Amino acid sequence: MARPSASYEVQIYKQDHWVLEGRFDTEAEALVFGRKALSGGKVEGMRVVRDWRRPDGRHVETEVHVEFRQVSRTVAASPIDEAPGLCLTLDHCYGVQSRMAMNRVLRSYVERAVVTPTEVLHNHAELARLLNTDNLVPTAVGRVAVLQADKAGTDGRGRRDALTLLMHELTDRARAAAARKDLPAIAATGFRPMFDRLDSSLPAEERDFLARVVLSRELVQMRNWLAKLDFLGELAREDGAAADRPLVLLDGVIADVLGAPSVAQELLGVQGSLAEALCNLIDLSRGRLSPAKRAEDDRAVQLNELLAFHDLDQTRLVILDLVRRQLKGTQPLYRSDPSLEMDAFQEILRRTLGPDGPAGGGPMAEALVLRYLRFLEGGGAPGRKQAIAEVAGRIPDARDRVRFLLALADSDLGHGHAGDIARLLHALTGNPTGYGRFIHPRLPPRDNLEALTLLYCQATDSALPEEARTRLTGDLDALLVAYITEERVVERLDDPGDALRLRANHLLQVCAPGILRSRRALEMVRRRVVEHLRQPQFDRKYVEDLTDAAAQQRALREFYRMLGEAGFV
């Protein structure tokens, strides 16, 4: 059935701008949704905009309803269902997981004040303003303490007292930093020169702290999220700033900005569905966001370039955590057409997959399974077991399927279904004759061996219980041996029609570190290398296809270097 040419957007007024909240097929649906959002008392205004698509493809927007209401100025701590591990030191409080939790539990304050956790923790005036806001901090500390105590099995009151003590220490440290007049200014030097001018004899943690203090002095003057993002992006692109510790420091604050409630939506602009937004965020985290239909100076394109060429690990973590939390939520992936919900899920699943496993690791794999559970009638442990099997079954590439299950094993859901995951992995890898699912026939043997070895290493380093991990690595070892034997890999590498030099080099390349980790598979190739080395007058035969004496010497030196790297000498 053709989709209607008109749709109705519900936009929510936040401070000084409108933000898209939902899109509906009828005006009545949009009004119900908008008025419900307005009745919560936290939204200042809402409007319904009719978006009509003309026959020539152009869109015409008409405001059909607008309504404002007085908003309560009380700022309350937001409910949260997860918290970072135990915060025992100040460094833990400055860490990315703690700052992410601050962005969530202080959501309303962060959005209203337009201030990042880094600014709050490193600028005494901002920290004092937060501490003096209603009963916000004690409530937030209490909520985090309960979650941390439950997870660690400790006393909730004791955890709250410990966090309160850390807050006092944070305040004292920020107050002392505010009194310092000797810190260089970014405006006068640039970010990297500012960092270099800090006392290099200081411990690394103290030097980082002071650099963040200086950075926060600049950021608190900007009460606009995108202005902060522009400023940080410019600093990261400065010559010398995008490397080493300065880049890590900038990465942390960019992550804070991206963790603010409304920034991702402002950055991406209007999206056709939640699924489209999540796919774009996944691509953005990898520096692969399509620039199509975006201007060169588009902020999303600029951030995408930074993520493509620099190691912004904290920013990437925050973006993927936003995707994960949305997947675990209840909002439809494709609200305007429920029949496309499963297709939308499949596309998100596909976007997450990669040679290192699903983007976001175990938490993302868990979120995907929990989202898929909404498609099933059954719940509880049987429903979760079915969801795990069916999500894995929707991954066409066998190697990606193994990596997904390995990632899932490193999650709370995976810990509770370790046996189910182990059985799925054995069913996938337990038959050596099924090696064909794990290789690409058109690729050279070396590439296939590398791919299988990578999978073997990922299994070795996985969070599977020891018994299941040992069984899986044994299965993968058998797959490698079957591939080498059945496809005559050694014979293809050691082609008698080639010169001995080429044959020996091909074999040695496979023996190089990282190509084969399987003991049985590696031994098969090493035996053939040793057979060549034991030939009478091997050195002369190795270079007999070369006529130049200097070239012969260079070839022999390179061969013995490769022998050393492969552990033969």
For the chain, report the end-to-end CA distance as a whole number of angstroms. Answer: 71
> Residue 3: what pLDDT?
47
> Hey, what amino acid is at 389?
A
Lookup: tokens for 367: 């979120």
d(CA 507, CA 511): 7
> Among candidates 11, 111, 120, which has minimal Cα distance to 61?
11
Rg of the chain's alpha carbons, rounded to an integer? 29
Q: Are 369 and 391 in contact (CB under 8 A)?
A: yes
**Chain-centre distance of CA 371, in angstroms?**
18
> Residue 70: what pLDDT?
63
> Residue 240: what pLDDT?
64
> Hey, what amino acid is at 465?
P
Torsion angle of alpha carbons 124, 130, 132, 134, nearest 10°? 180
Q: Are 38 and 32 in contact (CB under 8 A)?
A: no
The H or E element that residue 23 is part of is: strand 17-24
Model confidence pLDDT, tens digit, residues 336-350: 888 999 999 999 999
Helix (H, G, I), strand (E, B) or coil at 47: strand
Lookup: tokens for 472: 């899986």
- Which residue, chain included where needed, has tokens 């319904």? 48
> Among candidates 281, 257, 256, 320, which has minimal Cα distance to 95?
256
d(CA 145, CA 55): 57
In this structure, the number of other CB atoms found within 10 A of the CB of residue 239 comes to 8
Q: Which residues of the chain have pLDDT under 50?
A: 1-3
The pTM score is: 0.82
- Which residue, chain included where needed, has tokens 């079915």? 386
Q: Which residues contact 27 (CB under 8 A, 6 or more apart)?
A: 8, 48, 50, 64, 65
Helix (H, G, I), strand (E, B) or coil at 55: coil
> Residue 120: what pLDDT?
96
**DSSP 8-state secondary structure symbol assigned to residue 45:** E
- Which residue, chain included where needed, has tokens 């607008």? 66
d(CA 295, CA 306): 16
Burial of residue 336 (CB within 10 Å: 0-12, 13-18, 19+) is middle
d(CA 152, CA 159): 10
Question: 393-414 b/e with 16+ CB inside 10 Å = b?
Answer: ebbeebbbbbbbbbbbbbbebb
Bridge partners of 9, per DSSP, are: 23, 49
- Which residue, chain included where needed, has tokens 């490769």? 562
Q: Which residues contact 388 (CB under 8 A, 6 or more apart)?
A: 369, 405, 408, 413, 417, 420, 421, 424
In order, the DSSP letters of 161-211 are: HHHHHHHHHHHHHHHHHHT---PPPHHHH-HHHHHHHS-TTS-HHHHHHHH
> Residue 73: what pLDDT?
63
Bridge partners of 186, per DSSP, are: none
Lookup: tokens for 469: 């991990």
Lookup: tokens for 24: 């509906």
Lookup: tokens for 157: 């009151």
Q: Are 69 and 33 in contact (CB under 8 A)?
A: no
> Residue 231: what pLDDT?
94
Q: Name the pairing type of β-strands 17-24 and 59-68.
A: unpaired
**540 to 143, 423, 529, 551: CA distances (angstroms):** 76, 54, 16, 13
Lookup: tokens for 276: 């489209």
In the sheet where 6-14 sits, what is the strand order? 17-24, 6-14, 45-53, 59-68
d(CA 401, CA 373): 18
> Residue 161: what pLDDT?
95
**435 to 112, 157, 398, 460, 525: CA distances (angstroms):** 57, 55, 10, 19, 18
